[in-house]
C-alpha cells in the first residue's frame, strides 16, 4: 500500500536561511578586517604625516632626498682622481691592491728601536708612489662618491678598511721617523694622515653623513693626535713644525659631522622603512630583537609557528616611524647645547631611558630597538678625541712659547695672540681648560671630563668616564 507522501520523513538539507546567515557573517567579518586594516593604515599614515609637518615647521629636515649631495665637477672631485674610487669606495672593484698590501703591514709594534724602525720604513717605502697619488688627489676641494643615493641601502660608502689601514701605516711611519730623528719626514706623513680625513667628510655639503663615517673620522683623528703627541713628548718638533701642526689641529672640528650624522641617520632609516613591506621589517625585528631580549612578550609571540608579521597593517610601519623619530629627535636635541657643547648628564639620562624602553619594547618601538645606536658611547668618544685635539693645539702653542721664552707661561692667556689666536674652551661645560705650571718646570692641562667635575687633574680614561679628568698626557688613554 502506497503511503501518504505527506507523512514521509524529509531528507535533511542545508537551510537557505542558515547559508545566508553564514554568508552574511563571513562578509561582515571580512568587512571588519578590511575596516581594521583601513583604520590602522589611515591612523599610522596620518600620525607620520602630522609629525613630519610639526618637525619641518621647526626647521628639522625630514626628507631623505634633501640629504642627497649634488654633483660636483670631476676635475675637482677627490674620488675622480686616478685610483681614488678604486681604493676608497667600498665595492668599486673585486680586489683592492692598496688595501691588501696595507693590510699586511705590521703596525702593532710599540717598543720600536732604531733598527726595527729603519727596517719598517724601508719596507713601507713601497707605498711612497701611492701616498703621492693620494696627496695629489687631496688637493681637489670636493669629495663626492658616485652612486644611487635615492635608497639608503644602496648609497655608496667609503672603504673603511683601507682608511684604517692607511692611517695605521702612516702613524707607524711617523713614530719610526721621529725615533730616527727625521721630524721633517714625520711631519709629511702626519700631514697626510690629517688631510685624509677629508675623504670621509663628504665636501662640500657634508651630506649624507652616516654615523659610521663620522665615527671613523673621530677614530682617525684620535690616532693622529696620539701619534703627534709622541713628537711633543720627545720635543722633536721645531718652531715651524709646531706652527704647522698647530694649524692642522685648529682645523679639527668634528662636531658638525657628528651632529650631521645624528640628523642624517634618522632620515635615512625612515626612508629605508618606507621602502620595505611590513613583513620584511617585522621579520627583521624578530631576528634582531630576539637575540637581544629573548624573554619579552613579543619574542614569545615570535616564537610561534605562525608568521604573524606577514599580516600586519602597513600603518604599523608608520607608527614605528613616529615612535622612532620622536625618540631620535628628543635624544639629538639633548646631546648638544646651543653652542655646540656636549652635555654628558643629558646623554647619560637618555641612555638610561633607552635601556629601560628597550628592555620591554612595545609593538611600535621595534624599529627603534634596531635603528637607534648607542649615542652616549659615540658622544663620549667624540668628546674625548676632540678634547685631545684641542689640548694638543694648546700644547703646540705652549712648546712654541717655551722655545721663545725658556719656560712655560703662568697662564694660558699669555699665549694669545702671538702663539695662538683663540684658546679652545672645554668641550664639556664651555669653561676654560684647566692649566697650571708645575714645580718641576712642566705643566698640567686638563678638561673636567665626562663626569663634569674638577678632580684636580687626576687622570681619567675613556674606558671609565665616571671618574677623573681628561688630562693631557702621553700615551693618550
258 domain-assigned: no
pLDDT single digits (tens) 196-247: 999 999 999 999 999 999 999 999 999 999 999 999 999 999 999 999 999 9
Residues 365-393 as b/e (b if ≥16 CB within 10 A, e otherwise) read: bbbbbbbbeebbebbbbbbbbbbbbbbbb
187 domain-assigned: yes
Name, in order, each residue with C-beta under 8 angstroms of 225's C-beta and a sequence gap of 6 or more.
249, 385, 388, 389, 392, 476
The per-residue pLDDT for 445 is 98
Residue range of the domain that includes 97? 66-208
144 domain-assigned: yes
Name, in order, each residue with C-beta under 8 angstroms of 64's C-beta and a sequence gap of 6 or more.
152, 267, 268, 270, 271
Distance CA 181, CA 122 (A): 15
The per-residue pLDDT for 306 is 45
The per-residue pLDDT for 307 is 52
Name, in order, each residue with C-beta under 8 angstroms of 53's C-beta and a sequence gap of 6 or more.
none
Name, in order, each residue with C-beta under 8 angstroms of 446's C-beta and a sequence gap of 6 or more.
391, 433, 434, 457, 459, 469, 470, 471, 472
The number of distinct structural domains making up the chain is: 1
The per-residue pLDDT for 280 is 64
Supply 312's cell numbers: 600586519
pLDDT single digits (tens) 136-193: 999 999 999 999 998 888 899 999 999 999 999 999 999 999 999 999 999 999 999 9
322 domain-assigned: no
Question: What does the DSSP 8-state code read for residue 313?
Answer: -
The per-residue pLDDT for 162 is 93
8 A C-beta contact, residue 266 and residue 329? yes
The per-residue pLDDT for 95 is 66
The per-residue pLDDT for 118 is 95
250 domain-assigned: no
22 domain-assigned: no
The per-residue pLDDT for 303 is 52
Distance CA 449, CA 429 (A): 9
The per-residue pLDDT for 25 is 81
The per-residue pLDDT for 309 is 53
The per-residue pLDDT for 295 is 44
Supply 305's cell numbers: 609557528
Choose among 34, 143, 160, 38: nearest CA to 91: 160
153 domain-assigned: yes
303 domain-assigned: no
Which segments in the chain show pLDDT lower than 70?
A: 1-14, 93-97, 103-111, 277-310
Amino acid at each position: 500500500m502506497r503511503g501518504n507522501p505527506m507523512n514521509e520523513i524529509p531528507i535533511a538539507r542545508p537551510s537557505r536561511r542558515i547559508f545566508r546567515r553564514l554568508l552574511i557573517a563571513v562578509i561582515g567579518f571580512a568587512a571588519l578586517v578590511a575596516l581594521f586594516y583601513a583604520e590602522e593604515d589611515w591612523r599610522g599614515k596620518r600620525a607620520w604625516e602630522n609629525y613630519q609637518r610639526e618637525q619641518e615647521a621647526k626647521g628639522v629636515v625630514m626628507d631623505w632626498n634633501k640629504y642627497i649631495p649634488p654633483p660636483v665637477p670631476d676635475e675637482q672631485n677627490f674620488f675622480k682622481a686616478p685610483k681614488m674610487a678604486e681604493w676608497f669606495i667600498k665595492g668599486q672593484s673585486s680586489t683592492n691592491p692598496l688595501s691588501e698590501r696595507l693590510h699586511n703591514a705590521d703596525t702593532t709594534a710599540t717598543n720600536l728601536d732604531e733598527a726595527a724602525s729603519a727596517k719598517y720604513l724601508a719596507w713601507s717605502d713601497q707605498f711612497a708612489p701611492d701616498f703621492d697619488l693620494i696627496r695629489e688627489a687631496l688637493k681637489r676641494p670636493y669629495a663626492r662618491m658616485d652612486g644611487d643615493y635615492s635608497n639608503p641601502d644602496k648609497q655608496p660608502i667609503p672603504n673603511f678598511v683601507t682608511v684604517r689601514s692607511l692611517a695605521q701605516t702612516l702613524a707607524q711611519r711617523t713614530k719610526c721617523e721621529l725615533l730616527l730623528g727625521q721630524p721633517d719626514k714625520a711631519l709629511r706623513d702626519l700631514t697626510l694622515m690629517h688631510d685624509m680625513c677629508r675623504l670621509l667628510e663628504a665636501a662640500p655639503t657634508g651630506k649624507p653623513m652616516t654615523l659610521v663615517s663620522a665615527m671613523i673620522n673621530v677614530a682617525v683623528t684620535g690616532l693622529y693626535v696620539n701619534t703627534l703627541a709622541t713628537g711633543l713628548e720627545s720635543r722633536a718638533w721645531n718652531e715651524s713644525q709646531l706652527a704647522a701642526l698647530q694649524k692642522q689641529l685648529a682645523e679639527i672640528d668634528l662636531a658638525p659631522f657628528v651632529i650631521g650624522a645624528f640628523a642624517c641617520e634618522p632620515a635615512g632609516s625612515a626612508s629605508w622603512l618606507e621602502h620595505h613591506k611590513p613583513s620584511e621589517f617585522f621579520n627583521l625585528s624578530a631576528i634582531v630583537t630576539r637575540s637581544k631580549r629573548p624573554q619579552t612578550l613579543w619574542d614569545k609571540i615570535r616564537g610561534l609557528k605562525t608568521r604573524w608579521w606577514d599580516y600586519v597593517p602597513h600603518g604599523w610601519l608608520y607608527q614605528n616611524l613616529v615612535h622612532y623619530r620622536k625618540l631620535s629627535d628628543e635624544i639629538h636635541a639633548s646631546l648638544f647645547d646651543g653652542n655646540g657643547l656636549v652635555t654628558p648628564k643629558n646623554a647619560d639620562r637618555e641612555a638610561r631611558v633607552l635601556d629601560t624602553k628597550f628592555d620591554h619594547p612595545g609593538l611600535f618601538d621595534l624599529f627603534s630597538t634596531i635603528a637607534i645606536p648607542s649615542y652616549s658611547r659615540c658622544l663620549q668618544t667624540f668628546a674625548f678625541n676632540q678634547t685631545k685635539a684641542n689640548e694638543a693645539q694648546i700644547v703646540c702653542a705652549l712648546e712654541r712659547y717655551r722655545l721663545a721664552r725658556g719656560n712655560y707661561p703662568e697662564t694660558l692667556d699669555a699665549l694669545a695672540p702671538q702663539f695662538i689666536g683663540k684658546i679652545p674652551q672645554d668641550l664639556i661645560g664651555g669653561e676654560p681648560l684647566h692649566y697650571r705650571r708645575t714645580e718641576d718646570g712642566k705643566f698640567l692641562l686638563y678638561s673636567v671630563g665626562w663626569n663634569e667635575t674638577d678632580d684636580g687633574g687626576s687622570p681619567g680614561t675613556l674606558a671609565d668616564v665616571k671618574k677623573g679628568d681628561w688630562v693631557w698626557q702621553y700615551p693618550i688613554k
